[in-house]
Chains A and B, each alone.
Chain A
């Protein structure tokens, strides 16, 4: 991979090298898992510096704590990089999520609960509420506005709430590819490309699990990944055991081979999704020692996102009294 010589980010990278020492290590995650109560697990997060300084968080606030931790990462970027819009491709995921929440609430005539909205986002969550009240989506970036219109149209046609997810996911990843393509970073592009491939694969596997037809899946496959639609059409005909062989020569073959059993036996995507995350984390580790370029910043944001996902898995497990073994099984690899 071409090494970047862009020195605009050296300040932020060095700051990140100090801060990432405080990321949750496997030993700290283990301490959370072995904690007797959710309070003790939360204390590990406190000690790791989670949340805004001076704020108090109880066990009930763990979602807020985790959300604010992600916001802290984005604020660091915002304060230190010359052009924050270069990082839009990372946060639009939250925008599309928030759009889904609003659209679903509207179709089911429910109120939107603030707890379901994600931050940081391109469109501030308060602004989004105004947009939906005024039904004026011109202010949204063009791909988002188009996706909203499309999902409204598709829902009125099918009355199936699931269609909102599919339409918006497709729009999200196309949008991400477009934004990542502007960055002139091979690493970032290959990362988003892998996300697209894995999302397509996940949709394909899910469609097979719920026994729907290829015709149902085809319109929602995301274009622009490593494989054309014909490849997925061939793949769709195969049994679960055979799918991994179709990916020989690519990095996805192993993760598929490892998730076949759970797909076949428990008909669940949980193991596959975990291995997808691990695959992305192993990609992130490529930039661990980079000194120039945008890559370490992108890595830090995403590594933090994965870490927060792990923290959430443990907190949810602890609060619901899940066994230690069951929690460990769900944990993703750590970047730290």
Chain B
């Protein structure tokens, strides 16, 4: 079991943390943007003039995947080729991936719901895009907080 030699454990933990920080919010954003996209297409097939409004609303839940990408990138940046990470640093980097991963996933799904509601609101009224975006951004705040927390933890490694 050369691969799992003690020296490598720290590095492996950090890689798992990075993967988690991206994969989980990535799944959430994909689901949310996917559903919002279908909803947007529903509105557009009846009223193509609403393209800009529904496109903005559709795109909102994609930010969680972007934040996850940033955290994963920062974690991977701590790994230097040919140099083993010590166990303590590896564990901290692994834990750093958790806030972004978990909060990112949940907030993406729920922001997706608000986006779809916003799209349906736009479908009913001429305006409504700004209100829909603001409501969806309320959920964004939690993803941003998770990003900051994960970022801070990385700084401690």
Contact A291 B43 (CB under 8 A): no
Indicate if A14 sits at the interface (CB-CB under 8 A). Answer: yes
Which residues of A (156-180) have their CB < 8 Å from a CB of B?
none
Most buried by A among B39, B41, B113, B117: B39
Contact A14 B120 (CB under 8 A): yes
Contact B47 A10 (CB under 8 A): no
The CA of A136 and the CA of B79, in the complex, are separated in Å by 76
Pick the contact of A13 from B36, B42, B45 — CB < 8 Å? B42
Given known A-B contacts A7-B35, A21-B124, A14 and B42 have beta carbons under 8 A apart: yes
Given known A-B contacts A7-B35, A17-B123, A289 and B117 have beta carbons under 8 A apart: yes
Which residues of B (25-51) have their CB < 8 Å from a CB of A?
31, 35-36, 38-43, 45-47
Q: Which residues of B contact A14 (CB under 8 A)?
A: 38-43, 116, 119-120, 123
CB distance from B57 to the nearest CB of A (A): 11
Pick the contact of B42 from A7, A10, A289, A292 — CB < 8 Å? A10
- A-B contacts, 8 listed (Cβ < 8 Å): A7-B35, A12-B42, A13-B39, A13-B42, A14-B119, A15-B45, A289-B117, A291-B120
Indicate if A18 sits at the interface (CB-CB under 8 A). Answer: yes
Which residues of A (1-40) have their CB < 8 Å from a CB of B?
7, 10-19, 21
> B95-136 vs A: 1/0 string, CB under 8 Å?
000000000000000000100110110011000000000000
Contact A11 B46 (CB under 8 A): no
Of all chain B residues, the one with the shortest Cβ separation from A21 is B124
> A181-203 vs B: 1/0 string, CB under 8 Å?
00000000000000000000000
Given known A-B contacts A11-B38, A14-B40, A14-B123, A291 and B46 have beta carbons under 8 A apart: no
A-B contacts besides A14-B43, A292-B116, 19 pairs, CB < 8 Å? A7-B35, A7-B38, A10-B38, A13-B42, A14-B38, A14-B41, A14-B42, A14-B119, A14-B123, A15-B45, A15-B46, A17-B42, A18-B42, A18-B43, A18-B47, A19-B46, A80-B42, A291-B39, A291-B117
Majority secondary structure, A binding face:
helix
> A67-109 vs B: 1/0 string, CB under 8 Å?
0000000000000100000000000000000000000000000
Tell me how many residues of B have a C-beta within 8 Å of chain A. 19
CB distance from A53 to the nearest CB of B (A): 14
Contact A18 B123 (CB under 8 A): yes
Which residues of B (44-103) have their CB < 8 Å from a CB of A?
45-47
Pick the contact of A17 from B35, B38, B43, B113 — CB < 8 Å? B43
CB distance from A336 to the nearest CB of B (A): 11
Given known A-B contacts A18-B123, A289-B117, A291-B117, A10 and B43 have beta carbons under 8 A apart: no
The CA of A318 and the CA of B54, in the complex, are separated in Å by 42
CB distance from A76 to the nearest CB of B (A): 10
The CA of A77 and the CA of B49, in the complex, are separated in Å by 23
Contact B120 A13 (CB under 8 A): yes
Given known A-B contacts A7-B35, A10-B42, A11-B38, A17 and B116 have beta carbons under 8 A apart: no
The CA of A112 and the CA of B49, in the complex, are separated in Å by 47
Across the A-B interface, give the 10 residue pairs with the lowest CB-CB distance, nearest first. A14-B42, A18-B46, A17-B123, A15-B42, A11-B42, A11-B38, A14-B39, A10-B39, A7-B35, A17-B120
The CA of A19 and the CA of B113, in the complex, are separated in Å by 21
Of all chain A residues, the one with the shortest Cβ separation from B117 is A291
CB distance from B128 to the nearest CB of A (A): 11
The CA of A291 and the CA of B135, in the complex, are separated in Å by 15
